[in-house]
DNA sequence: GGTTTAACTGATTAAGTAGTCAGAAAACAT
DNA sequence: ATGTTTTCTGACTACTTAATCAGTTAAACC
């Protein structure tokens, strides 16, 4: 009955739970909670359906475990805005990290998108508490920068939303981007160009300036 | 209430098909194609489930009709970039229109998001043909502006993606935005501020300049 | 090697699910 | 009124779904 084995070595249990979570992440990302099926997750993970209930108890609990795993990854990117007092460096680093995550783990972003579209039935508490507080302290930082003339006076929330929207667009809408890229995957050089262009547009857009005295 | 009454007057048929399409739009937006159920759409539209099959034949056809109705609305916004040769005016108008649509018809944007997340099983032909061509001609226009020094030299696709991502974010992620707005709906003044800030950030970000000779 | 405990799964259940269809009800024509 | 066509729907079918559970296999321990 024990769960939550994001644990050590190469036990049968750890291998199976990881395989199930990986499969579930793809399935939930593609079809949302309602549209996903245990049978399909079982097939993707090459395990019998009953095994999934054995490890996770229910579809709901599997989903929650999936979501928690995503949060852990996103928290790391969020730290970029925490300790750096230079808007140019802080925003560039945050945007770059978020784009890296969109590239490497698009499923996480898609699950989040599905959740919010559906009105966040599962994540509502997280939104209203953790994300609210985080956003609040970040917009306070933006306001400080604005008062120092290092950021243009626009609504700080709008700045955050634009960064989230744009960076996650490269995960959620990757299929569309690939079609418009002549059906080809984005290559290394293109990803670098995207990072550079998005940073350039946002930084110029919000009028981000490094501290003059430090220059 | 009854938008887009494809059919004439106030017949039983037109009232019912509209009620079903409105209900279906909400349902598909929330749960995607797989997650949506005929029974739930029937309940939303206050009609018996068999009636939906009577009018639309199948879930698939209902979905397609839904999607077509959305395209018709989006095409209007797309025209903003068609005939205006001033990047400042053209981009402002396009962004403003897209934000208006996100506010008034968020379901359309959500259905689109769900479709793309799932790899566009239904809209793929539209993506690869119509959207591809439209995007191609728009990015050509951006390149022309760039050669005239009226737009910063960044990848034109990135500019479009940022506009799409940001404007549609206010539809797809409205729930999150509302939570971060202290649980309150965005009011008229806030929407105006968003339009103004988004235009300001994007225009400054891409270095949009009106034609000097015309000034 | 034998006993206990944990890991697993095939078969089944009960609750949805899209779609069908015979025929009722309404609209229309004469 | 009467007959005829169109519109509509309750009851049904065939299938999918999450979840259960009895029973089997494998591992752990002594």
B52 and B77 in a single domain? The answer is no
Among the ranges given (A2-6, A35-39, A119-123, A187-191), the one the predictor scored with the smallest mean pLDDT: A2-6
Tell me the shortest Cα–Cα distance from B106 to chain A, in angstroms: 10
Distance CA A131, CA A160 (A): 12
A and B: number of Cβ contacts within 8 A: 175
A22 and A128 in a single domain? The answer is no
Say yes or no for a CB contact (<8 Å) between A131 and B179.
yes
| Model confidence at B2: pLDDT above 90 | no
B76 and B172 in a single domain? The answer is yes
A2 confidence band (pLDDT: 50, 70, 90): very low
B51 confidence band (pLDDT: 50, 70, 90): very high
**Domains in chain B: how many in total?**
2
In a domain, B126, yes or no: yes
Supply the pLDDT for residue A12. Answer: 78
CB A49 within 8 A of CB A42: yes
In a domain, A215, yes or no: no
In a domain, A213, yes or no: no
Of A135, A194, A204, Cβ closest to residue B158: A194
| Model confidence at B195: pLDDT above 60 | yes
In a domain, A49, yes or no: yes
In a domain, A7, yes or no: no
- DSSP per-residue letters across chain B: ------S-SS-HHHHHHHHHHHHHHHHHHHHHHHH--HHHHHHHHTS-HHHHHHHHSSHHHHHHHHHHHHHHHHHHHHGGGTS---HHHHHHHHHHHHHHHHHH-HHHHHHHHHHHHTT-TTTHHHIIIIIHHHHHHHHHHHHHHHHTTSS-SS-HHHHHHHHHHHHHHHHHTHHHHHHHTTTPPP-HHHHHHHHHHHHHHHHHHTT----STT-
Place of tokens 């001609």: B137
A47 and A74 in a single domain? The answer is no
In a domain, A29, yes or no: yes
Tell me the shortest Cα–Cα distance from B120 to chain A, in angstroms: 8
Distance CA B150, CA B153 (A): 9
B76 and B23 in a single domain? The answer is no
A35 confidence band (pLDDT: 50, 70, 90): very high
A44 and A87 in a single domain? The answer is no
Share of chain B above pLDDT 90, in %: 81
Q: Report CA-CA distances (Å) from B197 to A201, B48, B205.
A: 14, 46, 12
Which residues have a Cβ under 8 Å from the Cβ of A62 and sit 6 or more positions away?
A20, A21, A24, A41, A52, A56
What is the tens place of the pLDDT at every residue in B109-149? 999 999 999 999 988 999 999 999 999 999 999 999 999 99
Q: What's the Å distance between residue B6 CA and nucleotide D1 C1'? A: 37
Supply the pLDDT for residue B10. Answer: 65
Residues of B in contact with A132 (CB under 8 A): 179-180
Supply the pLDDT for residue B213. Answer: 55
User: Which chain B residues in 49-68 sit with Cβ < 7 A of strand C?
Assistant: 49-50, 53-54, 57-60
CB A150 within 8 A of CB A209: yes
B137 and B86 in a single domain? The answer is yes
B47 and B74 in a single domain? The answer is no
Supply the pLDDT for residue A8. Answer: 42
B54 confidence band (pLDDT: 50, 70, 90): very high
B52 and B76 in a single domain? The answer is no
Residue lying closest to nucleotide C9, CA to C1': A50
Q: Report CA-CA distances (Å) from A116 to A64, B1, B93, B177.
A: 14, 25, 28, 10
**Mean pLDDT value across chain A:** 91
In a domain, A168, yes or no: yes
Give the structural domain span for A18. 12-57
CATH code, domain carrying A176: 1.10.357.10
What is the tens place of the pLDDT at every residue in B150-180? 999 999 999 999 999 999 999 999 999 999 9
A139 and A79 in a single domain? The answer is yes
Q: Which residue of A has its CA nearest to B194?
A: A158
A103 and A45 in a single domain? The answer is no
Q: What's the Å distance between residue A52 CA and nucleotide D14 C1'? A: 27
Query: Which nucleotide lies closest to A40 by the C1' atom and the CA atom?
Result: D17
CB B81 within 8 A of CB B138: yes
Residue lying closest to nucleotide C27, CA to C1': B12
Say yes or no for a CB contact (<8 Å) between B172 and A117.
yes
A106 and A194 in a single domain? The answer is yes
Nucleotides of C under 7 A from a protein CB: 7-11, 16-21, 27
In a domain, B120, yes or no: yes
């Amino acid at each position: 009955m024990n769960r939550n084995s994001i644990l050590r070595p190469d036990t049968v249990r750890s291998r199976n739970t990881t395989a199930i979570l990986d499969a579930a992440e793809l399935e939930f990302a593609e079809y949302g909670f309602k549209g996903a099926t245990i049978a399909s997750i079982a097939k993707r993970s090459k395990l019998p359906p009953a095994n999934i209930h054995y490890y996770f108890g229910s579809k709901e609990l599997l989903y929650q475990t999936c979501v928690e795993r995503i949060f852990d990854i996103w928290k790391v990117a969020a730290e970029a805005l925490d300790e750096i007092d230079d808007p140019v460096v802080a925003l560039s680093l945050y945007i770059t990290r978020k784009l890296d995550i969109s590239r490497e783990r698009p499923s996480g972003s898609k699950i989040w998108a599905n959740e919010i579209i559906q009105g966040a039935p599962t994540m509502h508490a997280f939104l209203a508490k953790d994300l609210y507080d985080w956003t609040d302290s970040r917009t306070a930082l933006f306001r400080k920068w604005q008062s120092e003339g290092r950021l243009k006076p626009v609504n700080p929330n709008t700045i955050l939303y634009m960064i989230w929207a744009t960076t996650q667009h490269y995960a959620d809408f990757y299929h569309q981007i690939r079609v418009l890229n002549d059906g080809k995957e984005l290559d290394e050089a293109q990803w670098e160009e995207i990072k550079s262009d998005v940073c350039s547009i946002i930084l110029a857009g919000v009028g981000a300036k490094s501290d003059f005295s430090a220059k």
